[in-house]
């Protein structure tokens, strides 16, 4: 069994595909991930985490 890898989504993207990739990795609707990111974004933590993930997570 091959281990799963986290990638930015090419098909399900709004900005950089990070939320789409996380949704595909956990087999969850990316809209839920985006809503959680908006809630975290109100604290400032979500914005920083998204920017870091957009830089670090590779394209598929």
pLDDT of residue 9: 87
pLDDT of residue 56: 93
pLDDT of residue 44: 80
What are the pLDDT digits (tens) for 6-59?
A: 888 888 888 898 988 999 899 999 999 999 988 888 888 888 888 999 999 898
pLDDT of residue 45: 82
C-alpha closest to that of 24 among 4, 38, 49:
4
User: How many whole angstroms separate alpha carbon 55 and alpha carbon 53?
Assistant: 5
Structure tokens that stand for 32 in this block = 């839920």
Q: pTM value?
A: 0.82
The 3-state DSSP class for residue 59 equals strand
First to last CA, the chain: 19
């Amino acid at each position: 069994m091959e281990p799963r890898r986290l990638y930015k989504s090419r098909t399900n993207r709004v900005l950089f595909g990070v939320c789409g990739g996380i949704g595909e990795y956990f087999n969850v609707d990316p809209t839920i991930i985006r809503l959680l990111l908006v809630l975290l974004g109100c604290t400032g933590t979500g914005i920083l985490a998204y920017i870091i993930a957009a830089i670090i997570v590779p394209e598929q």
